[in-house]
Amino acid sequence: MNQLTQALEQEGSSRFEFLSRGLAFLARPSIARWAAIPLRLIVGYGFMEHGFAKLSRGPEAFGAILHTIGVPAPHLMAWLTIMTELVGGLAVLLGAFVPLVSLPMAAVLVVAMLTVHLPYGFSSIKLLSVTSGRAQFGPPGYELDLLYLACLAALVFGGPGPMAIDRYFRKK
């Protein structure tokens, strides 16, 4: 039995070594520097999509939601949130002023997490039922807020990567 365990461990470690050597090219600086691009795309697009959704329903509707949960100056905060999501999302998407726009974007995420998503727990996906072949989901938890915050932190500390507007401004 001991020999079998050792053989399996050796086989498993050799597979791991093969995989790690095979994927080592991803860790090279020439490729790793592109890691910020997918983060910028999903964070920028995600924020802009949330801003457009609030804008399309009307800032007054979002202001009413903010009023209901006790946010002060709900009409003003609705507009500030929408503008933060639209302008901040576009800036992240383009790689412009990422450290600057990340602060208000992070504030929006923290407020959403504490006032809306925290009572629903961690998970963003809560399958309630399947009716007529369609899944019915409950309210999302704070998982997505944390993911967005982690992506923003990665972009702030790691930089916006190649094809960023900030690189154009730094050259001049």
pLDDT tens per residue across span 41-91: 999 999 999 999 999 999 999 999 999 999 999 999 999 999 999 999 999
Grade residue 16 by pLDDT with cuts at 50, 70 and 90: low
User: What is the overall mean pLDDT for the chain?
Assistant: 87
Grade residue 20 by pLDDT with cuts at 50, 70 and 90: low
6 pLDDT exceeds 90? no
Grade residue 8 by pLDDT with cuts at 50, 70 and 90: very low
1 pLDDT exceeds 70? no
Q: What is the CA radius of gyration of the chain?
A: 22
pTM over 0.85: no
Grade residue 167 by pLDDT with cuts at 50, 70 and 90: confident
The CA–CA distances, whole Å, from 53 to 41, 50, 85, 160 equal 18, 5, 10, 26
Question: What is the token pair recorded at 117?
Answer: 């998503």
Report the phi/psi class of residue 133: left, alpha or beta, with left for phi > 0 and alpha for psi in -120 to 50: left
12 pLDDT exceeds 70? no
